[in-house]
A and B are shown apart, each in its own frame.
Chain A
């Protein structure tokens, strides 16, 4: 299958290893991954902060860039949630019904990584190996906007050597919420404190999730506290193998986590 990578602005700019890992997993499964070079951002930050007029051209740009592709994948539940649940609304609010229809058509071909793997490609074992103790945080938008349900867990349970430990109160928000983390920094931090307490309490070495944004938040807090617990995107774990020559070893996993 020929799959277009919707890298997300955050992974492109701050977490290229997550994008690289997404490519690695899909290529290992025999698929062709292309990177539409015109892509930028889905515009969710603008929409969720109230700047819908500014979001409109960003949405139009995204729709145009991905229109030629039959399948689009993003390593983010939140960005796919924005494409699927916000793009057409933004267009309709601005009175652009034609764009809304194009956005809906594009959204129907856009998948979050675990959705693409499990639902579209029918794969639960991606041939990964990752001998570490891991806990999984279901991000709000993957859970409640996309309803990915236990797809990420099914993928993780098939990773060789991985010990999966349950996260208490897993479905509670970590407090990120985009600009919420800045506008209501105190409340956001109070939410983060409880999330970190639960993560640390599992005794896991790594907290994983399907969104780099939430992981940036949880990981940023864990790092500030010198907790010794790290965050890794689901794609990075699925890309890991025990083949020392594999691209994944050097590219996708931060120093000191694997081996």
Chain B
């Protein structure tokens, strides 16, 4: 099934550009997770931060009497938007153009980076200020600009910490969640003097002192910059209005001071009408920061002569989204409004942090979004992401637009197995075991034989009567017995004892 989006492209929908941007790491999830789990500083920082934000969210969501109706409204709006995405994107382009903006279409990360680089070069600027944006992190825009000799300065406090630390974001909302304040102090002391910001010699790790230091550092950049680059939380098709939702006001500095404003936005961010924002602006802050209302909600419609940026561009980014939209189960991942509530409640994310996912989209939503954007081949690194979940369902419960993440994870696991089979990578030992289990489970006779075979486990059990346990098994079951015992299989299964007693 293909879905035409009105994007001037040829052939089938493309996945994200391989090797460009940050949608795939270099190691599979279990490997990367193992290293993260051993980092006690990371475990402590993330455990503390997610627990705090989880509690805040639960409190403010609990006080909204019609929260479930709001979630359903959000889900319905997103589903109907996706169903007529081509039409709405066309309308958005018309309205932005009519308001004096220029719309560009980018099939993938490489095209988007090239468009933005060209636009910046045309202004003659050699630096840009950036509003916190997932889309530009996704396509690796900063690296592309740097390769063209353009410095990109992150202005969101957490993104600044990540950038100065030569690090990668580990959370959608709080990119530096893996850092604590004493680490941040060290990063500032190491990096800021070289960029022209003098630091007081007695700088402590008090949050206020650190924030004021960042403020001094950023203020000079804001006043100097001629070009700003942003993402967008929403784009209203009927008016051509773009919107950024943020907490610090640094975004608004970028959106209002420079002469040129370039916005890179995933095509799924469009909403049909202005009134639809009413739903999302209630859902988003409570779900993401645990705030009742968002502190800085900026909206702009094209160019306003004499006020704000006089040159406004919108780059509409596909980068695999059309391919996701074509998947009847997986497309729901495009409903995501990037609140990160699913990360904060995820028991896996809470232990491993975001870097283990290898993508700028970590946590449960990343586990369903990243492999779909890059495509699964049967043995790609991102093929491991749909398995990075115990399917506990906590993500589905908190999602403000009710994305059924567990069901998408299960579907993607099926697609991965099918991709592996199609590329000749099956049968693996696992596939052979699954086939054998299915064969035994469709015949009571064969099932009894399999149960009898499992009784061989009695030979492996050790310990005193009544407390006999299996403490060691060969791979792959050693994954279990490395940290957990197994009970000794009983001498008789339930069905055997039932039959022995002559019951039916």
By a beta-carbon cutoff of 8 Å, the part of chain A in contact with chain B is: 7, 9, 11-17, 19-20, 34-35, 37-41, 43, 45-52, 54-55, 57-58, 60-61, 86, 89, 93, 140-141, 143-145, 171-173, 175-192, 216-217, 219-221, 223-224, 254-256
Main secondary structure of the interface of A (DSSP, over half): helix
List the A side residues contacting B493 at CB < 8 Å. 12-13, 16
State the CA gap A151–B2 with chains docked (Å): 47
List the A side residues contacting B414 at CB < 8 Å. 47, 50-52, 93
Cβ-defined contact, A224 with B348, below 8 A: no
**Chain B residue at smallest Cβ distance from A191:** B347
State the CA gap A48–B407 with chains docked (Å): 9
Cβ-defined contact, A173 with B438, below 8 A: no
Query: Is B56 positioned at the interface, with any CB of A under 8 Å from its CB?
Result: no
**Chain B residue at smallest Cβ distance from A218:** B484
Cβ-defined contact, A184 with B37, below 8 A: no
Identify the stretch in B17-25, B79-87, B232-240, B382-390 within 8 Å (CB) of chain A at 4 or more residues.
B382-390
**Chain B residue at smallest Cβ distance from A217:** B484
**Chain A residue at smallest Cβ distance from B420:** A50
Query: Is B441 positioned at the interface, with any CB of A under 8 Å from its CB?
Result: yes
Cβ-defined contact, A12 with B351, below 8 A: no
List the B side residues contacting A217 at CB < 8 Å. 484
Cβ-defined contact, A40 with B480, below 8 A: no
Specify which of B435, B466, B479, B490 is in contact with A54 (CB 8 Å cutoff). Answer: B435
List the B side residues contacting A48 at CB < 8 Å. 391, 410, 413
Contacts A50-B417, A181-B480, A187-B33 given; indicate if A14 touches B393 (C-beta within 8 A).
no
Cβ-defined contact, B437 with A223, below 8 A: no
By a beta-carbon cutoff of 8 Å, the part of chain B in contact with chain A is: 29-30, 33-34, 37, 347-348, 351-352, 386-394, 396-397, 407, 410, 413-417, 430-431, 434-435, 437-438, 440-444, 447, 451, 454, 465-466, 469, 471, 476-477, 479-480, 482-487, 489-490, 492-495, 497-499, 503-504
Specify which of A37, A45, A186 is in contact with B33 (CB 8 Å cutoff). Answer: A186
Besides A48-B410, A57-B438, 13 more A-B contacts (Cβ < 8 Å) are A35-B504, A40-B442, A45-B437, A51-B417, A61-B442, A140-B394, A175-B390, A177-B389, A181-B480, A182-B476, A185-B480, A187-B348, A189-B484
Contacts A182-B476, A183-B387, A186-B33 given; indicate if A46 touches B394 (C-beta within 8 A).
no
Contacts A12-B494, A54-B435 given; indicate if A49 touches B413 (C-beta within 8 A).
yes
Contacts A40-B442, A41-B441, A176-B390 given; indicate if A12 touches B483 (C-beta within 8 A).
no
CB distance from B131 to the nearest CB of A (A): 34
State the CA gap A190–B33 with chains docked (Å): 11
Cβ-defined contact, A188 with B390, below 8 A: yes
**Chain B residue at smallest Cβ distance from A34:** B504
Contacts A35-B503, A187-B351, A224-B471 given; indicate if A173 touches B392 (C-beta within 8 A).
yes
State the CA gap A19–B498 with chains docked (Å): 10
List the A side residues contacting B480 at CB < 8 Å. 181-182, 185, 220
Cβ-defined contact, A54 with B434, below 8 A: yes
Cβ-defined contact, B33 with A184, below 8 A: yes
List the A side residues contacting B387 at CB < 8 Å. 179-180, 183-184
CB distance from A197 to the nearest CB of B (A): 12
**Could you pull out 25 A-B pairs where Cβ atoms are within 8 angstroms?**
A14-B490, A16-B493, A16-B494, A40-B443, A45-B434, A47-B414, A49-B430, A50-B413, A50-B416, A54-B437, A58-B442, A61-B442, A173-B392, A182-B480, A184-B33, A185-B30, A185-B479, A185-B480, A187-B33, A187-B388, A191-B351, A221-B484, A223-B484, A223-B485, A254-B466
CB distance from B30 to the nearest CB of A (A): 5
Cβ-defined contact, A223 with B348, below 8 A: no
State the CA gap A15–B489 with chains docked (Å): 8
List the B side residues contacting A172 at CB < 8 Å. 347
List the B side residues contacting A13 at CB < 8 Å. 451, 454, 489, 493
Specify which of A55, A58, A144, A192 is in contact with B484 (CB 8 Å cutoff). Answer: A192
Cβ-defined contact, A177 with B437, below 8 A: no
**Chain A residue at smallest Cβ distance from B47:** A194
List the A side residues contacting B29 at CB < 8 Å. 184
Contacts A49-B434, A190-B351 given; indicate if A14 touches B484 (C-beta within 8 A).
no
Cβ-defined contact, A185 with B483, below 8 A: yes
List the A side residues contacting B388 at CB < 8 Å. 184, 187
List the B side residues contacting A177 at CB < 8 Å. 389-392
List the A side residues contacting B33 at CB < 8 Å. 184, 186-187
Cβ-defined contact, B438 with A55, below 8 A: yes
List the B side residues contacting A93 at CB < 8 Å. 414
CB distance from B1 to the nearest CB of A (A): 15
Cβ-defined contact, B416 with A220, below 8 A: no
List the A side residues contacting B394 at CB < 8 Å. 140, 144, 171, 173
List the B side residues contacting A50 at CB < 8 Å. 386, 410, 413-417
Cβ-defined contact, B438 with A140, below 8 A: no
